Structure 1
Amino acid sequence: MLANQRRAAILAIVEEHGAARVSELVDQLGVSDMTVRRDIERLDGEGLLERVHGGAVAISPRATDEPGFTAKSTLMTAEKQAIAQEAARLVQPGATIGISAGTTTYELARAVRDVPHLTVVTNSVPVAQLLHEAQAAGHVVVLTGGVRTPSDALVGPVAVSALQGLHVDRLFLGAHGIDRSAGLTTPNLVEAETNRALVRSSRSVCVLADHSKMGIVGLSSFLDLHAVDTLITDSGIGARARQVLEEQVEQLVLAAPGRGRSPRSEAAG
């Protein structure tokens, strides 16, 4: 196991259980005590977990934390790409779709850029730029306009006004966090308002979110889970989170990283 893979495994264990002892990590990873301690020190220095006596504990994100697009784009890349490939199967030539801001939805835009004759409504600057540079025949991109957030979303009254009167077949929606009670959330109040406008413009809502979003609660809720038609996440989701989603959303799809567009990806619900 490479060092970066080992540190990713330590972080995943700590995040799943909330904490882990050095001795437990040594047993699970089959490496030395000193190796684990060095990895924990490195992860602590990067702000990804908190080193404590004898082990490490997970860091609970604050409700107003809003990571930038570039920072988020380096996380869960294989999971995001697998989710995007599953979502791309729902996009037919000639469709009119909405794509919200986010790094997973950006991967969807990459996956559908060769689908002919798409009309795409988006409030994401990176998504609009990607599709513009693709120069695919027949693509029409409607960029909402508005105030740009750290996550490169265009939000606010201008964006909401632009969405009024627009109608898309299916919205592909990202989220900062997903929780049983809070639903879909974001740390940005104005982005929540714009996301609600995107939902109102859509006949069907498909949420794209990797498993690390489960249990995270941002400052503002913008959609209840029971209002989600399809939710696509990855196979790393925990059993409890999966049960919650199966009970609440109409359809749950689990994408398997590394399998691309394979029919072996699992659907539930």
Structure 2
Amino acid sequence: MLARQRQAVILEEARRTGAVRVSDLVGRLGVSDMTVRRDLDVLASRGLVEKVYGGATSISSRSTDEPGFEAKSVRQRLHKEVIAVTAARLVKPGTAIGISAGTTTWTLARALEAIPGLTVVTNSIRVADVLRDSAQLDRTVVLTGGVRTPSDALVGPVAVQSLRSLHLDIVFLGVHGMAEGPGFTTPNLTESETDRALVESGRRLVVLADHTKWGTVGISTIAELDEAHVVVSDAELPEDARQTLGEHVGELLIADVPSVTGDDA
């Protein structure tokens, strides 16, 4: 297969599924790891895909575009891990917390393993799966009902009604984008309504958002910047973003990434 043909196959797969992995492409195309990476470099240089750790994701700028969970899970992986560890330090044993859907909040769920006595309410199937497999026998996990979205969130009237009757200590919110004016946003209208109900159920709101979320705007606002008690981001967050967030949110926590490879950027 010629290079142009391989790249067409890779691009088609990235657009169909939202993401491709080098390991999968090696087997499918019958070429070496280095050949696949060179093809991804070509596609990235043309602005057709974005290289991430272990592969690439499709590129789209529309406010209603919503990549699937697998596509988002490989983006900014190291940044999400340090953000999750930093956010987990805000959780005390025996508290009731809410966790929204998303890959950063899914990473947070894994970082909560050692904290005993938690009651966790979530509309994320992925988060619930992580917490269900926890070794903490005194943990209570409440999964709201609802209709499943591309990000594996459960949304809609059933989820909203469930959340409106709850009173949580902290709500951890993952977002598609954040910007001055629109605030914290999502590309899914139904998910925004459910997320707003989750936000309203908590006494404190902690937003988890890596640096790539700054300046990204989804179609629907979940919360204004002023509503966040804490925003946890990473060290690559631009200075103008830090200044703006510092003027609006209660506290901005910056998590350091020990080392970042080119594929993770």
TM-score range, shorter chain: 0.7 to 0.9
2:106 pairs with 1:106 = yes
- Distance in 2, matches of 1:94 and 1:39, equals 47
Note the residue ranges of structure 1 that are not aligned, 5 or more in a row.
1-36, 50-58, 260-269
Tell me, in whole angstroms, the C-alpha distance in 2 between the residues paired with 1:163 and 1:112. 21
1:84 partner amino acid: A
- The Cα of 1:132 is off from its aligned counterpart by 0.5
- Name the CA shift for 1:46/1:145 in 2 (closer, same or farther; >3 Å): farther
Number of residues paired by the alignment? Answer: 214
Aligned counterpart, 2:130: 130
Q: Deviations over 1:216-243 (max 9, x none)?
A: 0001011000111000000001111111
> Can you give the 5+ residue segments of structure 2 that lack an aligned partner in the other structure?
1-37, 51-58, 260-265
Q: Could you tell me how far apart the structure 2 residues matched to 1:39 and 1:164 are?
A: 46
Q: Once the 2 structures are TM-superposed, how far is the Cα of residue 43 of structure 1 from its aligned partner?
A: 1.1
d(CA) in 2 for partners of 1:39 and 1:142? 41
User: How far apart in 1 are the matches of 2:126 and 2:83?
Assistant: 18
Match of 1:226 in 2: 226
| 1:255 aligned partner | 255
Equivalent AA in structure 2 for residue 42 of structure 1: L
Q: What secondary structure sits across from 2:104 in the alignment?
A: helix
Write the letter of the residue equivalent to 1:190. Answer: T
DSSP-derived class of the 1:97 partner? strand
Distance 1:241 1:135, change over 3 A: same
The amino acid across from 2:182 in the alignment is: A
TM-score scaled by structure 2?
0.77
Change (3 A) 1:133 1:46: farther
- Matched with 1:4 is none
Worse-matched range after superposition: 182-191 or 237-246:
237-246
**d(CA) in 2 for partners of 1:129 and 1:258?**
28
1:7-156 matches, within 5 Å, as 40-44=41-45, 47-48=48-49, 61-156=61-156
List structure 1 segments (4+ residues) > 3 angstroms apart after TM superposition.
37-40
For the structure 1 residues 142 and 243, does the alpha-carbon distance in structure 2 shift closer, same or farther, using more than 3 Å as the test? same
Cα deviation code 1:65-116 (max 9, x no counterpart) = 1011111000101100000000010111111100000000111100002211
Q: CA deviation at 1:48?
A: 2.8
1:158 and 1:38, CA in 2 relative to 1: closer, same or farther beyond 3 A?
closer
Q: State the one-letter code of the partner of 1:223.
A: A
**SS of corresponding position for 1:134:** coil
Structure 1 residue 130: Cα displacement = 0.6
RMSD: 1.7
Question: What's the % identity of the aligned pairs?
Answer: 52
Please give the TM-score of this superposition, normalised by the length of structure 1.
0.76
Aligned to 1:186: 186
Counterpart AA for 2:233 = T
